[in-house]
Structure 1
Amino acid sequence: MDALAPPPLPPRMPMAPPRGGQDDAAQLRLLSVLHYVMAGFTALFSLFPVIYLVLGIAVLSGAMPVDSNTASSPGEVQLMGWVFTGLGAVFFVGMLGMAGLVGYAGRCLAREQRHTLCMVAAGVCCMFMPLGTILGVFTLVTLTRTSVRERFAHGATPPPSTP
């Protein structure tokens, strides 16, 4: 060997491919499916307030007799029926609305459209503990990445056409 020759360089380590591209698309598809599942669970749990709605209607119609010894007036019984009916209806419609929002956000995630709506739906998901909170946080983390924002800004790539 030559005494003046430089020492050999260590072998180069292969560089990891940059994040984004297919990785982002796969994560958005997975989040889309999980949003559909969360919307289904929310719609299912929206049936619980229907119990209060039915109970209130039963009290108002007289189908469910209320002990007159515990109520001081018939007006109180009627008020209780209206409160049960009103709150049951509000919670039922509200939860169905949330289920619709989360389901629509799943569709928008798959199509890479409406970034702000997807962020809002992820925040709404955080209210449904514990699974919705996990889904909402992961969705927010994914949607705040620069590469994902760029995907939403450029729109979705059209799916390949099949002959």
Structure 2
Amino acid sequence: MQPPPIPSKDAEHLRTLVICHYIKAGLTLMMSAFIPLHYAIMRMVFTNPEFMKEMQNAQKSGQPFPFDPQQFFGIFQWFYVIAGVFMLAAIVLTVISGRFIQRRVNRTFSIVVSGFLCLFFPFGTILGIFTLIVLTRESVIRLYAEAKAPA
């Protein structure tokens, strides 16, 4: 018994997913540009002599200051490193997944990446869910199998 024909909408949906993966990677790249900007602003605040003078005045008057700004900023720098690595990984994985969907190879990789994209609310979540929905369709699985067979 021969399987039913593959709907033409599947190819269209895959093409749309590829475009959305590239757009999402571009948006993530633009958002990652805010990390150095935020770092510069926070560094200005925490290394500002007026801020330090205010802290010393508060300590002299007997009011406990909640934290040491230099120490807090030293710990907070790790946040910037982790966020940068996380966003860079998202960009690279999203582009690779889009390319794989375009070539209709490594469907499992794209499914895993779509789960990772769900962490990036709201656009990544939407893209991840729709990618999961499309890539788990039986007709799309057959499209991937057909693309793999001639190779």
Q: TM-score range by the shorter chain?
A: 0.7 to 0.9
SS of the aligned residue for 2:54 comes to coil
Q: Provide the rounded CA distance (Å) in 2 between the counterparts of 1:47 and 1:87.
A: 15
On the 8 A contact 1:101/1:121 being kept in 2, the answer is: yes
Residue in 2 that maps onto 1:35? 21
Aligned-residue CA RMSD (Å): 2.8
Shift of the alpha carbon at 1:82?
1.3
Q: For 1:86-101, what aligned pairs fall within 5 Å after superposition?
A: 86-101=78-93
On the 8 A contact 1:53/1:84 being kept in 2, the answer is: no
SS of the aligned residue for 2:88 comes to helix
Q: Provide the rounded CA distance (Å) in 2 between the counterparts of 1:26 and 1:156.
A: 19
1:47 has 2:33 as partner? yes
Q: Classify 1:131/1:59 alpha carbon distance in 2 versus 1 (closer, same or farther; 3 Å).
A: closer
Q: Provide the rounded CA distance (Å) in 2 between the counterparts of 1:126 and 1:35.
A: 13
Give 1 or 2: higher helix fraction. 2
Dislocated runs of 4+, deviation >6 Å: none
1:68 has 2:53 as partner? yes
| Residue from 97, 100, 110 that aligns with 1:118 | 110
Mark the structure with the bigger radius of gyration: 1
1:153 has 2:145 as partner? yes
**Any stretches of 5+ residues in structure 1 without a counterpart?**
1-17, 159-163
**Any stretches of 5+ residues in structure 2 without a counterpart?**
60-64
Which structure would you say has the larger RCO, counting Cα contacts within 8 Å and 6 or more residues apart?
A: 2
Residue in 2 that maps onto 1:109? 101
Q: Provide the rounded CA distance (Å) in 2 between the counterparts of 1:29 and 1:70.
A: 57
Q: Classify 1:76/1:142 alpha carbon distance in 2 versus 1 (closer, same or farther; 3 Å).
A: same
Residue in 1 that maps onto 2:62? none
On the 8 A contact 2:6/2:143 being kept in 1, the answer is: no
Equivalences, count:
138
Task: Give per-residue Cα distances to partners, 1:14-42, cap 9 Å, x unaligned.
Answer: xxxx5625332221111001110011111
Task: Give per-residue Cα distances to partners, 1:30-89, cap 9 Å, x unaligned.
Answer: 1001110011111111222223433465578x5x4342332669x933312212322112
